[in-house]
Chains A and B, each alone.
Chain A
Amino acid sequence: MKALSQKRRHPLAALVLLLMGLMLTGGVYAVATTLNQAKADTTTYSANDIKEGNKLFIANCATCHGMGASGSASGPSLVGVGAAAVDFQVGTGRMPMQMQGPQAQRKPVQFDATQTKQLAAYVASLGAGPSVPDASLVDGKGNAANGGELFRVNCAMCHNAAAAGGALTRGKFAPALAGVSGQHIYEAMVTGPQNMPVFNDANITPNGKRDIITFLKTIEADGSPGGNDLGALGPVSEGLFVWIAGLGVIIAFTIWLTSRSS
């Protein structure tokens, strides 16, 4: 320490300090910016994946999305949508679309995991976009309570407080979330499929998304605390049940009360 304090008045001391300061801030900035992108590099695609994906794309997707995924009147451009969008749309069977309609419907998948990965590799090679999340973010082992709060603020208005789904305008709807894999939930949040808004990492942090997935998996596994939830659709199904079953029982008892004993 003594040697250091003796050299602090050296003519080059200011220069050395300036360099140290610059390197420190630059280093911190580099670490901070790569933290958000860290998960992007966990899935790697080979050149072969991209080549096979291109073939699959031309055979199955280019009719609507155009050659080179540049878009056409029937489908949007896929440049920059990222691997996450492909993995979600193809992995849940929404793409290839069965027919034009208010929104693409979930259906049995048409491509196996390898083909989906190849398609994702091809689309990801066209432009930077959200990548498939790391397995540690979709394991459902986060904080379910925090996830519940984030879900109620950001998701429950469309997807229903019990994640049972709900109606939107003109035939569109927010689907129920039971039985959807954590990976697909995560990808839907970062890509905003169809009319769902995008929830980027600045809006809901990757850990927040992990908590939301944890919350959804928790309520799905625990079930309803009060017996049959009648679809958790609120007053519609509950009202229908009470009007039919409840009033039916009351009418039956009324008839029994006023009938003569045999």
Chain B
Amino acid sequence: MGDHGDGHSEQGAVAKAGQSVAEKFQDPGIPPHRPRLADKDPRAAKRAERQVAILFGISVLGTLLFFWAYFGVRLDQTVATLRLQNLLLGLGTGFAMLGIGTGIVHWAKALMPDHEVSEERHEIRSEADRVAAVKIVDEILDETGIKRRPLIRNTLIGAVALAPLPAIAMFRDLGPLPANALSHTMWKEGTRLVHDPTGTPIKASDVTIGSAFHVIPDGLNEMTEGKLEAKAKAVVLLMRLNPELLHPSAGREDWSHDGIVAYSKICTHVGCPVALYEQQTHHLLCPCHQSTFDLTQECKVIFGPANRPLPQLPIKIDSEGYLVAQSDFHEPVGPSFWERS
């Protein structure tokens, strides 16, 4: 350590690291000290002092502004007063912090002593130190006698290997495994398709061509526990298009009713709700990553990162003309997971 310009720096770390480097480069040291205005001129110092005080004063005003807004702005249930109060509270706390911060920095920069200090680098470790450290380790190994007593060594290895196993049991107890919850939804044969959020059933005749209905299973609204989890899997988008445009594959011919089709709303990429339906192009667009599904090709992916088509919910009409599910989805809805077959 040493103040600048006192000649110490010629013997710094650079010179010791390698003699050839020292020959080429002369350590320039620290640039010459230049006194600040406040050091030379008492009036400048006085001015800097006032500036710091003003900055601290701004902080005080900011805090006062906060409390004035907190108690003074009367909230009358309109967004305008809420917006005004939010703005003033934010400006108040902002200036309260900013004033203190900038004041302290200006104080330190303009008025506090500014002698410059350089700290020299530690010496790089010597060979002797390394040998000494190895010797200590060897001594410990020797004194414990671990090499001579294999019984102790082997039992220790066994104990250390087994000790973490209880932790695995504890972590497993943190929650039940999902079992087959990821593969099934609450749709089953005869479940009515109802409006989200009102829960009123939907007649097939109500679904006109070009319509898009946002659908939940009947009984979801009455659930008291696990409603959101059930909804997150079971939401369905119901659309009707000209039956000639649908090209059902073998085995799926009777999954629709007169051009009315129901598809899971959960994207097979990462599970965003795919509900942007274009009624002329029959494209379904996921707003998160622009995966696009073609309704006329059983929701095949035609663009974007999704890997699988959206699962289709087989539907039929019941004796009263309401739309009901034929069964659950025939595959897990939503993104891929480890055990998905």
Q: Which residues of A contact B (CB under 8 A)?
A: 149-150, 153-154, 157-158, 166, 168-170, 172, 174, 192, 194-200, 202-203, 222-227, 256-257, 260-262
Contacts and interface: CB of A to CB of B under 8 A. Distances in A.
B206 A261 contact: no
B280 A194 contact: yes
B78 interface: yes
Contact of A203 (B211, B280, B283): B211
Given A154-B214, A192-B279, A222-B78, 20 more contacts: A153-B214, A157-B287, A166-B287, A168-B285, A169-B278, A174-B276, A192-B210, A192-B211, A195-B280, A197-B279, A198-B210, A198-B279, A202-B202, A203-B213, A223-B83, A225-B86, A227-B83, A260-B36, A260-B109, A261-B114
Contact of B109 (A153, A197, A224, A261): A261
B273 A200 contact: no
Interface of B is mostly: mixed
19 contacts: A168-B276, A168-B285, A169-B290, A172-B278, A192-B210, A195-B281, A197-B211, A197-B279, A198-B211, A198-B279, A199-B211, A200-B208, A202-B206, A203-B211, A223-B83, A224-B79, A224-B83, A227-B83, A257-B105
Nearest to A202: B206
Given A200-B206, A222-B79, A261-B36, A157 B276 contact: yes
Which A-B residue pairs are the 7 nearest by beta carbons? Answer: A202-B206, A197-B212, A195-B278, A222-B79, A198-B210, A157-B275, A261-B109
Interface of B: 34, 36-38, 78-80, 82-83, 86-87, 105, 109-110, 114, 195-197, 202-203, 206-214, 239, 273, 275-281, 283, 285, 287, 290, 292, 303
Contact of A262 (B37, B196, B209, B303): B37
Contacts of A195: 278-281
Contacts of A194: 280
Majority SS at the chain A contact face: loop
Given A203-B211, A223-B79, A226-B83, A157 B273 contact: yes
Contact of A197 (B82, B110, B210): B210
Contacts of A150: 197
A161 to B, nearest CB: 11
A149 B210 contact: no
A192 B211 CA distance: 8
A225 B209 CA distance: 39
A70 to B, nearest CB: 18
A154 B197 CA distance: 10
Contacts of B211: 192, 197-200, 203
A225 B109 CA distance: 40
Contacts of A222: 78-80
Nearest to B208: A200
A197 B295 CA distance: 14
A225 B83 contact: yes
Contacts of A149: 197
Contacts of B110: 261
A165 to B, nearest CB: 12
Contacts of A199: 211-212
B92 to A, nearest CB: 14
Nearest to A223: B79
A169 B303 contact: yes
B36 A262 contact: yes
